[in-house]
Amino acid sequence: MPFTLPTGAQMATWLSRLVQLPSVSPDQAGPRAGAPGEALLAAAVAGWFAALGGEVHTEDVLPHRPNVYGVWRGESDRWLAVDVHLDTVSVEGMTGDPFDGRIAQGRVYGRGAVDTKASLAIMLALLEAMQASGVRPTANLLIAATVDEEVGATGAPAAADWMRRGDLMVDELLVAEATSLAPIYGHKGVVRIEFQIQGKAAHSSQPHRGQNAVVAGAQLALALQAEHERLQSQPPAGLGLPALTVTILQGGTGINVVPDACRLALDRRVVDGERAAAVVAQLGDLAQAACPLPLTMTVQKEIDAFYQPVDASFIRQLSEWTGQPPQTAPYGTNAWAYADVARQRVVFGPGAIDQAHAAEEWVEIAAMEQVATIYARWWGATP
Ligand SMILES: [Zn+2]
């Protein structure tokens, strides 16, 4: 049977099926989230990968939250990989049934339709079409279906670890997200830190008996703001300037009590040329030096920027195939996690990011058809 691309209707059917398997991140699951679905979706995906000729590996990243890896052996030494996340954001504020997966007006509706089950549906439909005609990808192919993208971002680093353990360095890695068909070659990373400042309580009539944690926190906040201003005077990197924002400053127990504790939190955007771990260390030193009272530090997020030179061959190729110029993105994705297991990376997929996380979520079937053509060319499966 000669190879033909999957039709829009076939891809819409796959997507509808995926939307009907709720996979709201457990951290955002409310009364409307349905069954705890990320693991059910992972099990279904593992079954489909196996049925479509893939070697399947699964591993729990968090308890009962497995990544699924499907591998299809090709005819060359080249390796291609796709990261596609399984989880979706909350559905509590959505209008209508978030999981009906209805197909109407040339669109598929429901939570995850655009972020990012459309890309998974395209790949499943394409693998099905390839299997039906006995076509194999020319390069080796890894599809990593990852958990926990929307909240903790632990799925992608686990997938990268799995690749590292298997000595797998892929030539081109695509992170599936809604990019309106533009190849995304960079976005900022983020560091989030919380400090607890320890003072000593006393009656405010005798403040010299206490140690004022709120005043110490204020000094630290001003030192951090000065650091932000220093960052603004640096020459911009490819992704622009880093930014540091003090987001929380909290303390005090009563209007006549010297406060014994103060909490300060910050968000620091990381650009190319910086390492998140080095930023954490630098801010730890700065805080020790600027705060007159003892403090403890908790790192809540430590994520590098993703930055791929805009003239990288993979970026240029996708741009040529789609007719869309390469862009950077204001939002973050899993791409940062694969820095040392992929020679080239890109973020790419059908549909607009404005649709993701929205009260009504949908993707155009026509955009899925365009992306299927591009995946087929990339995988070397052409009619
Ligand atoms: Zn997403």
Q: Mind listing the pLDDT tens digit for each residue in 57-110? A: 999 999 999 999 999 999 899 999 999 999 999 999 899 899 999 999 999 999
Distance (Å) from CA 117 to ligand 1 centroid:
9
Range 281-288, long-range pairs (CB < 8 A, 24+ positions):
283/191, 283/193, 283/224, 283/227, 284/193, 286/223, 286/224, 286/227, 287/195, 287/220, 287/223, 287/224
Check: CATH 3.30.70.360 for 189-303?
Answer: yes
pLDDT given for residue 377 in this prediction: 94
End-to-end Cα distance, the chain: 11
Q: Taking the mean position of all CA atoms in its chain, how far away is CA 181?
A: 17
Name the amino acid, one letter, at 280: V
What pLDDT was estimated at residue 381?
Answer: 85
User: What is the whole-number distance in angstroms between the Cα of residue 9 and the centre of ligand 1?
Assistant: 23
Label residue 323 exposed, middle or buried (CB < 10 Å: 0-12, 13-18, 19+).
exposed
Output the CA 221–ligand 1 centroid distance in Å.
33
Token pair in block for residue 108: 């598929």
Report how far residue 225's alpha carbon sits from residue 41's, in angstroms, rounded to the nearest whole number: 44
- Which pLDDT does position 354 carry in this prediction? 82
Residues ≥6 apart with Cβ < 8 Å to 149: 85, 86, 87, 155, 156, 333, 334
Taking only the tens place, the pLDDT of each residue in 354-366 is 888 888 999 999 9
CA of 185 to the centre of ligand 1 (A): 16
What integer pLDDT is reported at residue 356 of this predicted model?
Answer: 83
Calculate how far, in angstroms, residue 226's C-alpha sits from the geometric centre of ligand 1: 34
Instruction: Evaluate the CA torsion angle 53, 55, 61, 63 in order and state its sign.
Output: positive
pLDDT at 247: 96
- Closest by CA to 118, choosing from 298, 308, 367, 312, is 367
- CA 322 / ligand 1 centre spacing (Å): 20
Say how many Å lie between the CA of residue 84 and the centre of ligand 1: 8
Residue 159 Cα, ligand 1 centroid: separation in angstroms? 16
DSSP-assigned letter for residue 182: P
43 C-alpha to ligand 1 centroid (Å) = 20
Residues of the chain with pLDDT under 50: none
Distance 6 CA to ligand 1 centre (A): 23
Interval between CA 47 and ligand 1 midpoint (Å): 22
- Output the CA 114–ligand 1 centroid distance in Å: 8
Angle subtended at Cα 284 by Cα 279 and Cα 290, rounded to the nearest 5 degrees: 120
- Amino acid (one-letter) located at 320: E
Using one digit for the tens of pLDDT, what is the confidence trace for 24-58?
998 888 889 877 789 999 999 999 999 999 999 99
Cα 150 to ligand 1 centroid, rounded to whole Å: 7
Taking the centre of ligand 1 as the mean of its atom positions, its distance from the CA of residue 115, in whole angstroms, is 4
**Ligand 1 centroid to 177 CA: how many Å?**
5
CATH number (3.90.1010.10, 3.40.190.10, 3.40.630.10, 3.40.50.720) of 8-187+305-379 reads: 3.40.630.10
**Any residues with CB less than 8 A from the CB of 105 and at least 6 apart, and which?**
none
How far, in Å, is the centroid of ligand 1 from the Cα of 205? 55
Distance (angstroms) between ligand 1 centre and the Cα of 85 equals 7
Residue ranges matching CATH 3.30.70.360 in the chain: 189-303
pLDDT at residue 383, rounded to an integer: 63
In the chain, ranges of CATH 3.40.630.10 domains: 8-187+305-379
